[in-house]
Structure 1
Amino acid sequence: MLKDLAAQYYKQGYNCAESITRAGNEYYNLGLEEKAFRMTGAFGGGLQVGDICGALSGSACVISSKYIETKAHECADLRPIMLKLVRAFQTKFSSRLCAQIKAKFYSKEVACLNTVTTAAEVLEEVINEYEKDKQTK
């Protein structure tokens, strides 16, 4: 499961965004290279300032890598799946902001591990549902 891979990366010291992106790359065979992962580093900690959750940003990176072939503007899948992702994330965490999510889900024992695994579950559910819906249309 995606959440298990994300947990493994988080336990290796990667931040929320890096963990989700690395797990998504492995799980969905995205073929990302090491340099691409470094680009996600600043997303951790809510862009390092408690803003948009790194796990959500990392999830957006996975979706972009999975669905965009050349340009975002040319990807009909991007807007609808991102809308589903953001809504599902907001429903699960009652926020999209790192500082607010951290206040509820962070613990000294595991830091943001629970956020990472829950976000990975949300991402996997959204992708699975989206793919299923596409097949029935």
Structure 2
Amino acid sequence: MKKIVDELNKQELAHPLEEQPLYHKNCAEILLMAANEKYNLGLDDRFFKAVCPYGGGLQTEKTCGALLGALAALGLMYTEERPTTNDRMKEKSKLLVAEFEKEFGSLDCTCIKAIHRSETEGCAPVKIRAAQVFEKVVNE
């Protein structure tokens, strides 16, 4: 999934500098898009639009959008049809939150950006590491 995230990040950079903001995909969108491609979730653009507000820490630099996009992917992958207690989804979600916090030292966008954001690449390194955490959780 790391490779997919890297490719999605680079798509924005393929455009002239002044046009790049028009093609930007935030952390939540990228994580969900990468999971969609890797795990054949069959999502269309409506799903990515739905998680767009999660980017930038819910647009308020609160909970990291990369975590939220990854949680949305886990929900799609592990939530069962009702009736169910969704124990597997809950287990994976709790593990993702714990592993994400261990990796970044926080769940908060402001804190993560202060330490892990790149001056030249923005949050691209955060998205890649979040994808690695996601893969670890899925594979456990």
Tell me what 1:3 maps to. Answer: 2
Where structure 1 has 5 or more consecutive residues not aligned to the other structure, the ranges are: 130-137
Question: Corresponding residue for 2:95?
Answer: 84
Over residues 54-87 of structure 1, what are the superposed CA-to-partner deviations in whole Å (9 max), with x where a residue is unaligned? 1000100110011113359642211111111011
Which stretch of structure 1 is more off in the superposition, 65-74 or 21-30?
A: 65-74
Q: What are the ranges of 5 or more consecutive residues in structure 2 without an aligned counterpart?
A: 12-23
Q: Distance in 1 between matches of 2:61 and 2:83?
A: 26
SS across alignment from 1:95:
coil
Residue identity (%): 36
TM-score (norm 1): 0.88
TM-score, normalised to structure 2, is 0.86
1:68-117 CA deviation, whole Å, 9 max, x = no partner?
13359642211111111011000000000000000001122100011000
Q: CA shift at 1:49, angstroms?
A: 0.5
Of the three residues 39, 47, 51, the one matched with 1:28 is: 39
Does the C-alpha gap of structure 1 residues 33 and 72 become closer, same or farther in structure 2, counting only changes over 3 Å? Answer: farther
Could you tell me how far apart the structure 2 residues matched to 1:27 and 1:119 are?
Answer: 14
Tell me which residue corresponds to 1:75: 86
Task: Measure, in 1, the Cα distance between the counterparts of 2:48 and 2:83.
Answer: 19
Say which of 99, 106, 113 aligns to 2:110. Answer: 99
Moved over 2 A (4+): 10-13, 69-74
Q: 1:50 to 1:30 in 2, by over 3 A?
A: same
Mapped partners of 2:94, 2:120: distance in 1? 33
Q: 1:73 to 1:53 in 2, by over 3 A?
A: farther
Between the aligned partners of 1:96 and 1:87, the Cα distance in structure 2 is: 9
Aligned to 1:133: none
Using the alignment, how far apart are the partners of 2:100 and 2:83 within structure 1?
21
2:18 matched to which residue of 1? Answer: none
| 2:27 alignment partner in structure 1 | 16
